[in-house]
Amino acid sequence: MPITIRQLPSKNIAPLVDKSSIPNNTQLLNPSRGGRYIYIRSIVYSETGECNQIVIYDTQTSKSYTIQSPWAMLEPSVNLFKGIEDLRIIEYNNQVWFTGTCTHASSYQINDLVIGCLKPDLSAVEYIEAVDIGTRPVKNVCPFVRNGKLFIIDIFFKRIYEVIMETDTTIKPRYTASLSLTLTTANGISIDKETTDDADELGKGLRGSTSPIHLHGNIWGVIVHDIIFRNNKTLVTRLSYIHYWMEFDIERGVITFKSTPFYIAHWGIEYISGLHYEKDGIVSLYFGVEDKLAMQCLTTLTDLRIGY
Q: Which long-range contacts (CB under 8 A, 24 or more apart) does 195-204 make?
A: 195/1, 197/1, 198/231, 200/229, 200/230, 200/231, 200/237, 201/228, 201/229, 201/231, 202/226, 202/227, 202/228, 202/229, 203/227, 203/229
Mean pLDDT value across residues 255-283 = 95
| Number of CB atoms found within 10 A of residue 291's CB | 13
The 10s digit of each residue's pLDDT in 50-69 is 999 999 999 999 999 999 99
Q: Could you tell me the pLDDT band of residue 233, with boundaries at 50, 70 and 90?
A: low
Q: How confident is the model at residue 235 (pLDDT cuts 50, 70, 90)?
A: low
**Beta 254-258 vs 219-229: how paired, if at all?**
unpaired
Percent pLDDT > 70 in the chain is: 91
Instruction: Assess contact for 49 and 82: CB atoms under 8 A.
Output: yes
Summarised one tens digit per residue, pLDDT across range 251-262 is: 999 999 999 999
- Average pLDDT, stretch 27-38? 97
**Residue 189 near residue 256, CB atoms below 8 Å:** yes
The whole-number pLDDT of residue 48 equals 87
Q: Give residue 230's pLDDT.
A: 72
Q: What is the pLDDT of residue 232?
A: 66
Mean per-residue pLDDT, 28-56: 96
Task: Say if residue 5's pLDDT is above 50.
Answer: yes
Q: Is the pLDDT assigned to residue 1 strictly greater than 70? A: no
pLDDT at 244 over 90: yes
pLDDT band at 234 (very low <50, low <70, confident <90, very high): low
Give the domains, in start order, of the chain with CATH numbers: 6-304 (2.115.10.20)
- Average pLDDT for 123-136: 93
Reply yes or no on whether the pLDDT at 196 is more than 60.
no
User: Would you say the pTM of this structure is higher than 0.95?
Assistant: no
User: How many angstroms separate the CA atoms of 148 and 172, rounded?
Assistant: 22
